A and B are shown apart, each in its own frame.
Chain A
Amino acid sequence: MTTEAADPVDAAAIAPAADAGFLQRHGASIEYILIPGAALVAALVVFGIFVALFGKNPLDLYWYMYYGAFGTWFSWQNTLSRAAPLILTALCTALPAQLGMVIIGGEGALLIGALAATSAALALQGMPPLVVQVAMVIAGMTGGGLWILLSGGLRQYRGVNETISSLLLVYIALAILNHLVEGVMRDPASLNKPSTREIGAANMIGSIPGTDVHWGLVFGLILAVASYVLIYHTTFGFAARVAGGNIRAAKIVGLSVGKLILTVCFLAGACAGLAGMVEVAAVQGRTNANLAVGYGFTGILVAFLARQNPLAIIPVAILLGGINASGGLLQRRLGLPDASVLVLQGIIFISVLASDALYGRIGLLKGKS
């Protein structure tokens, strides 16, 4: 049986790779770093032009951004503290993405998680701190999980687009939060800013010893690694990737796609819910509208920049956490509005989405065809 050049695809598949260059052989992997990297640089250049229009020197801008994010031990700690919730909210987008779903409602799950964790802590006042903290973790994850499960259920049983439903659920979550915080859960002592009562200093989860970085970072790292293992090393993750890659193939081998959707949505929401719990138990100490600062939305950006890979989410979250952290410095030194970093985030998001069109089109990296 002759196998040579039976047809074009075969010929390419059988050809020995030895004569292909390094770039050709690793083209696909290089692309995954090169293209988001280039998108990031392009966004920084556009942002530089934007800043120049304000009469500021873009080079100063880049220096202060670096300095404010990674320049000192202090800024590193600030960056890492902000990266922690971003890792968790990014997982809320990255896990359903394995199933081909686009969930952008991590912010809502974060708020519900925070409310649930606060409620648990307030209900268990007087118990040993460890018990309260464990209860907060469970409540936060369950609350967030159920919230995104709503999106999954709407999609599975009613055919509602999960992107839209998860986004709209953010506003419902915010409304519920405001309603409770200004109503039954309000601490009478909180006058200007309606808040719940404090969960108590003893119940705060505190910082990693020797740093000002709270334990939320460790939660984020653990869940990111666990998500990676779940997706790439377990039968559950395999089934999810099959369903995400081709739902018709999943059905023909009898996989229960509905069950996968619901489970993954719950897990995704649980991650964002944990972010809410961390914000309450490590930063705010109570629930109020301050929680809605957009970690959930930045998490979407992190997940897309990391191409939905849970391990890649870690460095990307640190990078984005750094950009967030530098916002204050930009305001103080360059007199830029605090919201400037949001503009930068928006530009990054657009350029990352646009750069998606480049995959497989860079001639230098193409395999021989």
Chain B
Amino acid sequence: MIGEDPTPAGAFGVEAIAMTMRFGAFTALDNVELKVRPGSFHALLGENGAGKSTLVKCIMGYYRPTEGDVLIAERERAISNPKDAHAFGLGMVYQHFTLVPAMTVAENLVLARDDVPAVVNWAKEKQELEAFLSRMPFRVPLDAKVSDISAGERQKCEILKQLYLKRRFLILDEPTSVLTPAEADEVLGMLRKMVEAGELTILMITHKFREVMAFADEVTILRRGKLAGRGKVSELTPDDMARMMIGAEQLTVQPSRTGEAGKIRLEVEKLVARDDAGGLAVQDLSLTVRAGEIVGIAGVSGNGQRQLVEVLAGQREAESGAVRVSGAPYSASREEMRRHKMSLLPEEPLKNACVGGMSVADNIALREFDRAPFASGGWWLNKSAFRKDATSKINRYKIKTRTPDTPISALSGGNVQRAVLARELGHDVEVLIAANPCFGLDFAAVAQIHAEIMAARNRGAAVLLVSEDLDELLELSDRLVVMFHGQLVYETRAGEADLTEIGRHMAGH
């Protein structure tokens, strides 16, 4: 314990005072104050880039704040690296798993300790682990390999690991992003009980209002590196919190759902596709999407959604099966994409739909560059047409870029997605395939993208929307299907959807 008094037993609080963090000329945190009372469940809300992670990393010792202090149990402490933070009883659970998949749960727990002996007496350790688990509200199979247990169980292991290491102030970084709603409720509910029992203090980074309302006592909201608001959750509504998060920014209004589904536009029949490792990712999947209809595909990430979209986008060869668009066989060629007016909004647009080193104007022209007015005679590039088209789309889609000639990789995620949106939806659309189109984007971008997708549907496009965000799917879809292990296992009309039922199928029950 580096020669200082250990922190008192039981739950303790943490405060960050006047935290400022500058990276060069950019201020990521500007005089932010955070007060987490002992034995409370505190939520830290904010859009992407609001400074939540920076604040937490300053507390955990990953960053040295430019100014500001951290108080642990009301005493000022110098935390110069994560080890110091651990010694004070602070622990962090990351969005992504940090367990070794090839090892058992017990091995993972024991090896996480700082004082692992050279020779581990497993029989003794097992006994101690069992004793430890009996005091814990959740159970995990100690002898199972981590690779064999579900995402929910893994997240429980991550949390148990922190408790096993005797950390009594837990920071959770979007802990439920890989869980089904039921798993999320279970894990957070158990943590909530431990907080109520006075054993634990929790600081949870999130952007889900539902979880804040259901589990948190207090909330701190950041916007653009500044404290935007804080208070007791019981005295706030989600609308209040949303207003604090986004400030005075005007959001695009989503058009209401109009018109009925028409003819079948997109037809997938008995599609089989493998993943990169050669495993079956999509198995005998059949699906139809009609004109003027949004079909949502729900599912925990890694159940073949990505491979399905890649086949439709021409990025992966199907093993067998057929895809038809408006009745004609479809093999993702440029000619077919044009004829059927197909648009694709893949996940991670910079990786999947843009050339990072090329300019914004070039990227906006990717679908049309070989036709007039971009190409004279079908082969000579007309650069001024690129710039003219890009300038008008940059204005129309509110893309924040210094010039049309700026490399697209210099833009923020939201603006890259807006540029792709401008390219893919800037003309008539008959079939739209979107995969997690809003992942990691701020409110303004999300609202704009949702509005565009709904508008495309209302104009008669057939929309296939693959998303890991159930709220997004419920909001936009006409029909919802659940994908599990490469197959569609459940279908419902979005209007009549039952969250528990969907969650059950997402988990494969």
* Residues of chain A having any CB pair with chain B under 8 Å: 1-3, 5-15, 17, 232-239, 241-242, 245-246, 248-249, 251-256, 368-369
* Interface residue from B25, B332, B355 paired with A368 (Cβ < 8 Å): B25
Q: Which 3 A-B pairs have the closest CB atoms?
A: A254-B334, A245-B355, A7-B49
Q: Complex Cα distance A11/B442, Å?
A: 15
Known interface pairs A6-B400, A8-B23; A252-B313 also in contact (CB < 8 Å):
yes
Contacts of A17 in B (CB 8 A): 402
* Interface residue from B332, B378, B415 paired with A10 (Cβ < 8 Å): B415
Say whether B314 contacts A8, CB under 8 Å: no
Say whether B355 contacts A9, CB under 8 Å: no
Q: Complex Cα distance A256/B335, Å?
A: 10
Say whether A254 contacts B398, CB under 8 Å: no
Say whether A252 contacts B344, CB under 8 Å: yes
Q: Does B169 contact A (CB under 8 A)?
A: no
Q: How far is the CB of A225 from chain B (nearest CB, A)?
A: 15
Say whether B358 contacts A248, CB under 8 Å: no
Q: How far is the CB of B9 from chain A (nearest CB, A)?
A: 41
Say whether A235 contacts B355, CB under 8 Å: no
Q: Does B346 contact A (CB under 8 A)?
A: yes
* Residues of chain B having any CB pair with chain A under 8 Å: 23-26, 28, 48-49, 224, 247-250, 313-315, 332-338, 344, 346, 351-358, 362, 366-367, 369-370, 375, 378-381, 398, 400-402, 406, 410-412, 415, 442, 444
Contacts of A255 in B (CB 8 A): 334
Q: How far is the CB of B389 from chain A (nearest CB, A)?
A: 14
Q: Complex Cα distance A6/B367, Å?
A: 29
Known interface pairs A9-B410, A234-B379, A235-B378; A251-B400 also in contact (CB < 8 Å):
no
Say whether A236 contacts B379, CB under 8 Å: yes
Say whether B25 contacts A369, CB under 8 Å: yes
Name 27 A/B residue pairs within 8 A (Cβ), A-sorted.
A1-B444, A6-B49, A6-B400, A7-B48, A7-B412, A7-B442, A8-B28, A10-B411, A13-B411, A14-B400, A15-B402, A17-B402, A233-B381, A234-B379, A234-B381, A235-B370, A235-B380, A238-B362, A238-B381, A242-B366, A249-B352, A249-B353, A249-B354, A252-B313, A252-B344, A253-B367, A256-B333
Q: Complex Cα distance A171/B298, Å?
A: 55
Known interface pairs A1-B250, A245-B358; A13-B332 also in contact (CB < 8 Å):
no
Contacts of A10 in B (CB 8 A): 400, 411-412, 415
Contacts of B358 in A (CB 8 A): 241-242, 245
Q: Complex Cα distance A3/B224, Å?
A: 11
Say whether A235 contacts B381, CB under 8 Å: yes
Q: Complex Cα distance A251/B406, Å?
A: 23
Contacts of A232 in B (CB 8 A): 381
Say whether A235 contacts B375, CB under 8 Å: yes
Q: Complex Cα distance A235/B371, Å?
A: 9
Say whether B26 contacts A8, CB under 8 Å: yes
Given contacts A5-B26, A254-B333, A369-B23, 16 further A-B contacts (CB under 8 A): A6-B224, A6-B442, A7-B48, A8-B49, A9-B410, A14-B400, A17-B402, A235-B379, A235-B380, A241-B358, A245-B355, A245-B357, A248-B353, A253-B334, A253-B337, A253-B366
Q: Complex Cα distance A228/B380, Å?
A: 13
Q: Complex Cα distance A61/B415, Å?
A: 55
Contacts of B332 in A (CB 8 A): 251, 254
Q: Complex Cα distance A272/B508, Å?
A: 58
* Complex: chain B residue closest to A236, CB-CB: B379
Known interface pairs A248-B315, A369-B26; A14-B355 also in contact (CB < 8 Å):
no
Q: Complex Cα distance A126/B496, Å?
A: 87
Known interface pairs A3-B400, A256-B333, A369-B24; A251-B313 also in contact (CB < 8 Å):
yes
Say whether A252 contacts B248, CB under 8 Å: no
Say whether A13 contacts B400, CB under 8 Å: yes
* Interface residue from A13, A239, A368 paired with B402 (Cβ < 8 Å): A13
Contacts of B23 in A (CB 8 A): 8, 369
Q: How far is the CB of A6 from chain B (nearest CB, A)?
A: 7
Q: How far is the CB of B40 from chain A (nearest CB, A)?
A: 30
Known interface pairs A249-B355, A251-B315; A6-B412 also in contact (CB < 8 Å):
yes
* Complex: chain A residue closest to B349, CB-CB: A249
* Complex: chain B residue closest to A254, CB-CB: B334
Known interface pairs A242-B366, A248-B352; A1-B314 also in contact (CB < 8 Å):
no
Q: How far is the CB of B507 from chain A (nearest CB, A)?
A: 31
Say whether B401 contacts A13, CB under 8 Å: yes
Q: Complex Cα distance A245/B24, Å?
A: 30
Q: Complex Cα distance A369/B24, Å?
A: 7
Q: Complex Cα distance A232/B380, Å?
A: 10
Q: Complex Cα distance A303/B335, Å?
A: 35
